[in-house]
Structure 1
Amino acid sequence: MSNPTVAAQAISTVPATILGRQQPRIPTAGRIRAGIKVLTKAAASDPRIRALYDDGLAHQATFEQIEQKIAEQFPDVKTPLVPKNVAWFTVRPNDFPNPAVASQILDAYGEDRGDGVIRLYRFPVLFPADAWQSVMPHELACWTRNEKRYWSEYSADGQTRRCMMFAPATIDARSQRAVRTFGGRGTQPRPDNGGLCDPERCPEFQHRQCNLSGRFLFYIPGIRSLDAFELHTNSFYALSRAIERFEAIAFLRGGRIAGFLDRQGTTFYLTKKLREVSHLDQKTGQPVRNAHWIIELEAPVDVAALLDQRDDDATLRMADAAVQALQGGEPIMHDMLPDTMPQAHQPVNEAARDAAHSSRANQPAPVQAACTNESGTGVDAVYALAVSLGADRAELDTYLNRTWGEGWCRNAQGVKRVLAELTRMQGDPDGLRARIHAEPGAQH
């Protein structure tokens, strides 16, 4: 389900600090839940427990708080609450340090689907890192009521899955007190199984005490928060399908999944889909299919636009190479130019460089001063490349200001985009001149 080597290689490049060598963690503040928890049949049969549950819901308590209160007053009830699979996500004020965030999320993205209740069924998300292992951490974990008892962890080589636990406290021989540790509790491989995570031979896994646990870490557009939000799930199917989406988008975007997916501000979406899930019946060993609401990661993006965006990024790299050449650096390499570009237009280096010197010598001073305020010789490269393609300087100024805005030459990104456009037009100088002479609004 994963390639642990990626995480292991990432760790090896992280510099050591006094707190150790570890991957940077994405801080979180607030949790959206995958569903709800309801009383078990045994707990619901006691009206006193039902009253505690209803009171907790009325006061916006978290399910953990409700469960803890029931356990305190009815210690004989071992498992008062169980998860229930529903079509929506749960957003409760007490799951956020700032309770008002829950209302902000529901106001922005909540829906009433006919029952008079505003719920969260689908919402946009932005991921803060490009490695899916960072934005969707997951593990096999066995919990007691108060803490994590065992968990899976890959060794440094990324190949061996270890079964880990907290190391027992060291007792000082003189004081007979636990030795104070620096950096939190130590960990160690679990000794009774050789420290190897083997679910098929693990009694905790076979008795459903150890389970897959994962979470999505994300930001929500329009919801202001320095820290990310999290959504937990223990669904193998949800996590596996999300990996497929992550890897597909990363392939189309040159390895990136973070931020907006395209220039139109498209985002991933988290929603739920009712799907039939197959599992083995523990008594018969036969496959059984049941319908469950499964978390679905959607990416409603135009694939053609993503591929075109990758081409644009390649053009920007070509533009950078052009700037280098025009500034006297390494010449533009022919293999960086598009394969479809006519050979007659590829060796533009010498002509462009000569045009650059001529452009610097003949440009009117006011325009030169305005256009090199922030972007330096990048503007020279724009004019030099345009002149090498047969464009008239005065007409070019009018065209660029009309198309890109008069501030293009005072913004580094603006200069880069213009240069990329001209670089793209190297194979069609007549088309560039036609654009320059076109009426306002008839081009671009």
Structure 2
Amino acid sequence: MTAVMTLPDAAPRSIVEERAMRPPTIGRIRPGIKVLKSSARENAKAANLYQTMVAGGSSFDDIAKAIESQCRIRDALVPKNVPYFTCRRSDFTSPDVADEILRLYGEDRGDGIKLYRFPVLFAFNDWMSNLPNQMAAWGATGRKYFSEYGPDGTRYCKTYAKIERDPRAQRAKRHFGGRTVIFRQDDSIPDGVCDPEQCPQYQSRQCNLSASFIFAVPDIKGLGLIELPTNSIYVLQKAYAAMQTVLLARGKLTGTRFMLSKREFDITRINEGGEAVRQKQMLTVLDAEIDIGALLDGAEDPAPALESANAAVAMIETGGNVHALHADDAQPQVDQHAGGSAESGADGSPDPDAPQSHGLAGPLMERVMADLADGGTRPESLDEKRHRMSDLLQRLGLNAEDRQQGFRVYAHSTYGRGWAERAKDVDSMNERLKQALTDPAKLDGEINAATQAVLFSD
């Protein structure tokens, strides 16, 4: 899939076009599994029912309902952290799609065919369209409260307006175009601003981060995309960093084959006593099968750099702002509605070492890379140095289209061919860019001088 899905820009011509388009989905791959909790495992009937339904490919929601109905055990299933994804027939509109995914990309590592790693293609160049996310509290009938950002960048708590009753018909008034969304305004949230510290749903762990990867899987047919939910801020931030890196190298996200896999990380959480403790956690990881170094470098000598820059893939396009979550939002949660997501801390407490987002991509990327560096004890890899460079370029405004080729010429003139493959040169460039944060005009002068030298050289 190389086509980019776009939303209609013209005035609406139909009731359908009045509403924001949502990409159609044909199924869901889940980031983990659910197992019987300890008390339910003691019930032989519940244990047998669980084993039978799992073997038959039933969804975990259906299994939980069956156990509650037949064994009178509520909330019998709990998420479990596993190194593979769950791809079940019951989670797809066409069950054969799940079988095809496992046939093409499943592996047998001694425990049957499982989905450990598989390729994905994104349909949008906007990272938020590929990974939509929000804070959300769910009830028995669906979403009860959810966050949305206003034009001023403030995160607001929204809810659905109460259905009015038609006094003449003695029934609920019919609504045209879906339920009305309003600001939440009650004793807990009087001003409609999403404030987790004052939110009773957040404090009682009912409101969590809710996000989903939306993608296509190569060689899988179907008129729609596939969804993979997550509620981990770690996963969200690392995926954001990966997408920004690809934007740096190619200028777009579409047409790149990414890989989704699971990797074990050391996660810091706060226990009930308020102490920071470390635990290992399997998290979803997004990688891309591209040669970042070759794309950054361009493999051209300084003399024809201007000509090659026009033909090469743009180094950077635009850097999007990260919606600033409250500090307490950087806590992994177990989302019971994600159908078996176990990408979270044991108690969902905030992680003081976790990367926080404060508006710009720069600080976020630096914190994400620090998290990947295992507490700072492991030397920074070349890829991580490039992540840091992409952040600095964005903060200096060198991601603007009219400035990209100038930087490219400057880099070639200063360090020569293949500089992006040499850690020493990348370190030197990062140091120069860091200095430019306090004196950008000086760097601009150096870039202009390098460009002029190329233009007027023999």
- Indicate the TM-score class for this superposition, using the shorter chain for normalisation: 0.5 to 0.7
> Is contact 1:138-1:212 (8 Å) kept?
yes
Note the residue ranges of structure 1 that are not aligned, 5 or more in a row.
1-9, 261-266, 318-334, 341-426, 428-444
2:118 corresponds to 1:123: yes
How far residue 13 of structure 1 moved from its aligned partner, in angstroms, is 6.3
How far residue 203 of structure 1 moved from its aligned partner, in angstroms, is 1.4
Q: 1:186 to 1:20 in 2, by over 3 A?
A: farther
The residue that corresponds to 2:195 in the other structure is 198
> Is contact 1:141-1:149 (8 Å) kept?
yes
Give the 3-state SS of the residue equivalent to 2:172 in structure 1: coil
Q: Matches of residues 101-250 of structure 1 in structure 2 within 5 Å? A: 101-113=97-109, 115-155=110-150, 157-192=151-186, 193-194=189-190, 195-250=192-247
TM-score (norm 1): 0.63
CA distance in 2 between counterparts of 1:222 and 1:238 reads 26
The residue that corresponds to 1:79 in the other structure is 75
CA RMSD of aligned residues (A): 2.8
Give the 3-state SS of the residue equivalent to 1:275 in structure 2: strand
TM-score (norm 2): 0.62
> Is contact 1:205-1:211 (8 Å) kept?
yes
Give the 3-state SS of the residue equivalent to 1:199 in structure 2: coil
How far residue 154 of structure 1 moved from its aligned partner, in angstroms, is 1.4
CA distance in 1 between counterparts of 2:53 and 2:213 reads 27
> Is contact 1:34-1:88 (8 Å) kept?
yes
Q: 1:126 to 1:46 in 2, by over 3 A?
A: same
CA distance in 1 between counterparts of 2:199 and 2:8 reads 30
> Is contact 1:279-1:289 (8 Å) kept?
yes
Q: 1:205 to 1:31 in 2, by over 3 A?
A: same
Partner residue of 1:56 out of 53, 74, 81: 53
Give the 3-state SS of the residue equivalent to 1:79 in structure 2: coil
The residue that corresponds to 2:255 in the other structure is 259
CA distance in 2 between counterparts of 1:199 and 1:11 reads 33
Q: Deviations over 1:374-401 (max 9, x none)?
A: xxxxxxxxxxxxxxxxxxxxxxxxxxxx
2:281 corresponds to 1:289: no
Q: 1:169 to 1:121 in 2, by over 3 A?
A: same
2:291 corresponds to 1:302: yes
| Range with greater deviation from structure 2 (15-24 or 83-92) | 15-24
CA distance in 2 between counterparts of 1:336 and 1:140 reads 40
Give the 3-state SS of the residue equivalent to 2:67 in structure 1: helix
* Counterpart residue type for residue 290 of structure 2: V
Q: 1:339 to 1:87 in 2, by over 3 A?
A: closer
CA distance in 2 between counterparts of 1:278 and 1:272 reads 18
The residue that corresponds to 2:396 in the other structure is none
How far residue 42 of structure 1 moved from its aligned partner, in angstroms, is 1.8
* The structure with more radius of gyration: 1
Give the 3-state SS of the residue equivalent to 1:106 in structure 2: helix
Q: 1:12 to 1:107 in 2, by over 3 A?
A: closer
Give the 3-state SS of the residue equivalent to 1:213 in structure 2: strand
CA distance in 2 between counterparts of 1:68 and 1:312 reads 61
The residue that corresponds to 2:260 in the other structure is 270
Note the residue ranges of structure 2 that are not aligned, 5 or more in a row.
1-5, 300-304, 314-403, 411-454
CA distance in 1 between counterparts of 2:101 and 2:223 reads 15
Q: Matches of residues 18-37 of structure 1 in structure 2 within 5 Å? A: 18-19=15-16, 23-37=20-34
Q: 1:200 to 1:336 in 2, by over 3 A?
A: closer
How far residue 51 of structure 1 moved from its aligned partner, in angstroms, is 2.3
* Counterpart residue type for residue 104 of structure 1: E
Give the 3-state SS of the residue equivalent to 2:202 in structure 1: helix
2:246 corresponds to 1:279: no
Q: 1:96 to 1:231 in 2, by over 3 A?
A: same
CA distance in 2 between counterparts of 1:151 and 1:54 reads 35
How far residue 190 of structure 1 moved from its aligned partner, in angstroms, is 1.6
CA distance in 2 between counterparts of 1:271 and 1:129 reads 21
CA distance in 1 between counterparts of 2:239 and 2:117 reads 15
Give the 3-state SS of the residue equivalent to 1:244 in structure 2: helix
Q: Matches of residues 382-393 of structure 1 in structure 2 within 5 Å? A: none
Q: 1:313 to 1:168 in 2, by over 3 A?
A: farther
| Range with greater deviation from structure 2 (143-152 or 308-317) | 308-317
